[in-house]
């Protein structure tokens, strides 16, 4: 059982929905980023999504693209991202960390080396948005063998014919993208999301977590009410990008977490 599996078992036992927070590793700099990540569990975050900075983040909107640029300009690399996770793990051995990013940096490092290092750093799962199921032998299967969950995205365009392929070899949870388009580009609507989550649930026992377009405590609650939890990324990253003190960023995160947990 991974930390992700254990977290969902704990939440289910408490009849509680999950709150997942995304932050870009190294944004606006390594030290501040580490301080934010260390503070997330205390703000009510159940699972941390740690963005891996990359030069061509095709699924991300301007907010997260700029965060990645700030991180890269500050010297953030895949190794530094793993260093950050390692540092976090010194004080927290239970909060799951999902590394979210693109395949190129992993490929450049070498899959076997990366998986060994990611496991050692305390990474629990991967969301690699540019590797489709047809490429499962590339990273997904080796990751599962190494004890890491491989989390897949489903979208409004994932029809019933495609869904079984998407769910195959997926573990940990399914990340449902609530809108068509990039991160931060539109708002999620529970009335649209609810039926889609039900459709996916009919095909899998995995938890369904909904992200993209969630930016307020009210929205976090509304989405969590029709799913197993909510993910917020751009709204948090925008607070960091605006130069808000870490305490203010974490207070905002806590308000979002409270929204999801009140569902």
Beta-carbon contacts of 201 under 8 Å, excluding residues fewer than 6 positions away, are 208
* Spatial distance between the Cα atoms of 151 and 144, rounded to a whole number of angstroms: 10
Q: Identify the active-site residue in 27, 49, 196, 228.
A: 49
- DSSP E strands in 13-82: the ranges are 18-24, 47-51
The three-class DSSP label of residue 125 is: strand
Q: Identify the active-site residue in 46, 60, 136, 196.
A: 60
Would you say 160 and 139 are in contact if contact means Cβ atoms under 8 Å apart? no
Task: List the structure tokens of 183.
Answer: 């991160």
Q: Is 135 a catalytic residue?
A: no
Compute CA distances 57 → 64, 65, 233, 235, 243, whole Å. Answer: 8, 7, 14, 17, 22
Residue count of the chain, please give it. Answer: 263
Q: Is 136 a catalytic residue?
A: no
Catalytically active residues, by annotation: 49, 60
């Amino acid at each position: 059982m991974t930390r992700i599996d254990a977290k969902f078992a704990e939440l289910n036992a408490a009849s509680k929905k999950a709150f997942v927070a995304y932050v870009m590793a190294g944004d606006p700099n390594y030290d501040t980023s580490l301080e934010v990540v260390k503070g997330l569990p205390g703000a009510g975050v159940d699972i941390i999504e740690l963005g891996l900075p990359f030069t061509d983040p095709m699924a991300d909107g301007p907010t997260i693209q700029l965060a990645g640029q700030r991180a890269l300009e500050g010297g953030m690399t895949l190794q530094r991202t793993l260093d950050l996770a390692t540092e976090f793990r010194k004080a927290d051995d239970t909060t799951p960390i999902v590394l979210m990013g693109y395949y190129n940096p992993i490929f450049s490092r070498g899959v076997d080396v990366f998986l060994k290092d990611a496991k050692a750093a305390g990474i629990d799962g991967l969301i690699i948005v540019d590797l489709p199921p047809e490429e499962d032998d590339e990273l997904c299967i080796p990751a599962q063998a190494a004890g890491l969950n491989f989390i897949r995205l489903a979208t409004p365009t994932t029809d019933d014919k495609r869904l079984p392929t998407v769910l195959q070899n997926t573990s940990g949870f399914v990340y449902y993208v609530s809108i068509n388009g990039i991160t931060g580009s539109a708002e999620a609507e529970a009335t649209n999301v609810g039926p889609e989550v039900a459709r996916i649930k009919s095909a899998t026992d995995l938890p369904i977590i909904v992200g993209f377009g969630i930016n307020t405590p009210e929205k976090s609650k509304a989405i969590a009410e029709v799913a197993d939890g909510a993910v917020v990324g751009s709204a948090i990253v925008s607070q960091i990008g605006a130069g808000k003190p870490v305490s203010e960023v974490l207070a905002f995160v806590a308000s979002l977490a409270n929204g999801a947990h009140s569902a």
